[in-house]
Amino acid sequence: MKEVRLRFAPSPTGFLHIGGLRTALYNYLFARNKGGKFILRIEDTDRTRFVQGAIENLIDSLKWAGITYDEGVFVEDGKIVQKGEYGPYIQSQRLDIYKKYVDQLIENGYAYYCFCSKDRLDHLREEQRIKGQVPKYDGLCREIPLDEAKKRIASGEEYVVRLKLPHNKDITFNDLVRGKVTINTNEIDDQVLMKSDGFPTYHMAVVVDDHLMGITHVVRGEEWLSSTPKHVFLYQALGWESPEYVHLPTVLNKDRKKLSKRQGDVSVEDFKERGYLPEGIINYLALVGWSPEDGDEIMNMDELVSKFDFDRVGKSGGIFDTDKLNWVNAHYIKQYPIEKLAELSIPYVVDSGLLKEAYIRENFEWYKVLIDTIKEAIDKLEDIPKHIGFLFGDLKITEDAAMEEINKEHVPDLLKTFIEVVNSHDEISLEVANGLMKEVQKKSGVKGKNLYMPVRAAISGNVHGPEMSNIIYLLGKDKLVQRAQKVLNNLK
């Protein structure tokens, strides 16, 4: 049986879009599920859109997300390298290969030279638009004899090469998501295959590369569905077997519109910067357009690989729901090893100005307790500063419920006892913190809510929140006394 081979072939035009990451993920999951190979190819034939550093960013984003590949373009020691026996894997380095097959198509009557100027084509499109027609090339240069065309080229005329589609012919292909798709050639343009600068268009390059690299399944966004008949025709014209096609539904926002920068985060970099974990992003993205048979929603990469198939990918657009992403990500935050979570959180806390990195490093065990204390309350790492703010600076008690607790009759005596108990210890270790409220209970005779609520309100400003013993440990002796004393002074 033929080895399954899939590829992700982005253009280096900037940061990787979250929809692009999902395409890469589905390619990866299917390849791994079938025990096949996954390849990263760079499609950079549109030189006008090339962005410096974009290849490195793409590779970095895939690595961060845990999507590994077997062949293609890698970064090693800061340099771009290519590995695998089907290279080069960067299209701009394959121009001679494309030219060979474009020449073959021309000689066999499946393509032709076109000399129409940009002005003529713009004028033609405008005329068609006014008449309510589908804008497409009118075939003016289709019938120029090959000898004449070659003479015009020899005399220095500028040209492109176009695909010569037969008139009124149904082209049918099978799509693993949409089933049988048929499009008539009268609805399709005579596509440019080679531009005047000698670079192929996407349509030519993608067919040649996928064939020569042995790609068995082409998995891409549904925006390419209408172009696929051209690709199928090219495979036939070159005498090659077509791969299987899978056109994925578009990733949409809650308004069922395409995700765009205007409405918020769209690049992998955006989500990474906000402190989403790769495990959360990958788990959630898998569910945007696909669902496993067992209905599970929380799955790690190995589970996704074992359950994934294109049979369960939907035809309609997948809705990107940030609330659902937050729920999935929060699950991974709760499960994360605390050492690793604390390490990842440092830049967010330092940027907030609450703590300096040197202090965090010196007091890392204390810091780990801090992160462990609030991790249940956060969806992503950028949320951390607002949940730890109550530990720093002067405490202002503004919550009504907290004020109510503090103003109870027994509170002045309770706080005096609390201060005495805290002062009886040289320092508040985690062990001391765990038993401190029991000591206060024993000494004051107050217990239950009457004990915990007022003390919590006095030291944290809230009646609900993280584990009380953790708050006591994190605040430490001086702050505990200072805060309780301030409340006591105000009550007097």
Q: Please enumerate, by residue number, every residue annotated as part of a binding site for Zn(2+).
A: 114, 116, 141, 143
Can you tell me whether residue 45 is helix, strand or coil? coil
Q: Which amino acid belongs to residue 87?
A: G
Backbone phi, psi, residue 251, to 5° = -80, 120
261 flagged as catalytic? yes
**Contacts for 344-348: CB closer than 8 Å, 24+ residues apart:** 344/275, 344/277, 344/381, 345/275, 345/371, 345/381, 345/384, 348/275, 348/381, 348/382, 348/384, 348/385
Cβ pair 163, 11 in contact under 8 A: no
Measure the CA–CA gap between 231 and 226, rounded to whole angstroms. 10
Cβ pair 14, 54 in contact under 8 A: yes
Can you tell me whether residue 112 is helix, strand or coil? strand
- For tokens 């962005």, what's the residue? 51
Q: How many CB atoms are located within 10 Å of the residue 95 CB?
A: 16
Class of residue 10 by CB neighbours under 10 A (exposed 0-12, middle 13-18, buried 19+) = buried
Query: Beta 244-248 vs 217-221: how paired, if at all?
Result: parallel
Q: Catalytic residue among 151, 261, 408, 442, which? A: 261
**Which residues participate in the annotated binding site?**
114, 116, 141, 143, 261
Cβ neighbors of 320 (< 8 A, separation 6 or more) are 18, 251, 252, 253, 254, 259, 288
Residue 193 per-residue DSSP state? E
Helices 228-237, 202-212: axis angle to 10 degrees equals 60
Active-site residues: which are they?
261
